[in-house]
Amino acid sequence: MYLKLKRTIDFILATILIVIFALPMLVIAIAVKLEDGGKVIYKSRRMGKGLKEFNVYKFRSMKIHRKELQSELSHEQMVTKVGKFIRKTSLDELPQLFNILKGEMSFIGPRPWIPEYYVWFTEEQKRRTNVLPGISGLAQVRGRNGINIFKKIDYDLEYVHNIGFKQDLKLIFETIATVFSKTNAEISEQGIKKEIRDLQESRQISKVS
């Protein structure tokens, strides 16, 4: 019952926020375009509810040709000037309002991860995809990227097992407070690779035992 109500609330709230933030989003889009002439929106393939893949939208914050620059620049140096600001303020996440409108995401839920993670998931860990992924979730307000991958999954499963209006409302307020803190807000590509490697090693150990 609540999941249907949650989807209705998501749709209505996303529509309202798109109208409210239409002008700021336009300004950000122009700023991103003017800085280096690259694409405004960055699309990343992620895993959604029921292990269904979709593209998550963000304002692009990395320099164009970033893959070619990886060997020359640090992760921080590959972020554009505009990118540093929109990341710090979480404004780069605003295009995900359209993901919510399309029914691919929710405001609150486990963060959508790249498909490479799920190759090494156990059946229990895959239960984090029983609900729509969210812009923010329990793991995000309990440590963000300052906690290891297994703790993140534990928090995601805790959310799925206890999903409800009160929990979502509490997480919304906690998310607002978290936005103003940059602590552990970002994870580098090397950090992502490490998390996937940790999952792989854990899965291999469990198979042996």
CA 158 to chain centre: 18
What's the rounded Cα separation, in Å, for the pair 126 and 163? 16
What's the rounded Cα separation, in Å, for the pair 183 and 168? 22
Residue 72 has phi, psi (to 5 degrees) of -105, -35
Partners of 41 in the beta sheet?
A: 59
Q: 């992760």: which residue's tokens?
A: 75
Are the C-beta atoms of residues 141 and 110 closer than 8 Å to each other? no
pLDDT tens, residue order, the chain (209 aa): 898 899 999 999 999 999 999 999 999 999 999 998 999 999 999 999 999 999 999 999 988 865 655 556 666 778 899 999 999 888 999 999 999 999 999 999 999 999 999 999 999 999 999 999 999 999 988 877 778 999 999 999 999 999 999 999 999 999 888 766 655 566 777 888 899 999 988 888 776 65
Token pair recorded at residue 157: 């499963």
Question: What is the chain's percent helix, strand, coil content, to nearest 5?
Answer: 60, 10, 30
Q: Please tell me the predicted confidence (pLDDT) of residue 73.
A: 65
Q: Please tell me the predicted confidence (pLDDT) of residue 158.
A: 96
Q: Please tell me the predicted confidence (pLDDT) of residue 77.
A: 78
Give 180's contacts (C-beta < 8 A, 6+ positions apart). Answer: none
Give 136's contacts (C-beta < 8 A, 6+ positions apart). Answer: 107, 108, 111, 171, 172, 175, 178
Q: Please tell me the predicted confidence (pLDDT) of residue 202.
A: 87
**Sign, Cα dihedral of 97, 99, 102, 108:** negative
Domain that holds residue 67: 2-208
Q: Please tell me the predicted confidence (pLDDT) of residue 60.
A: 95
Domain count, the chain: 1
Q: 């303020």: which residue's tokens?
A: 89
Q: Please tell me the predicted confidence (pLDDT) of residue 184.
A: 54
What's the rounded Cα separation, in Å, for the pair 61 and 207? 40
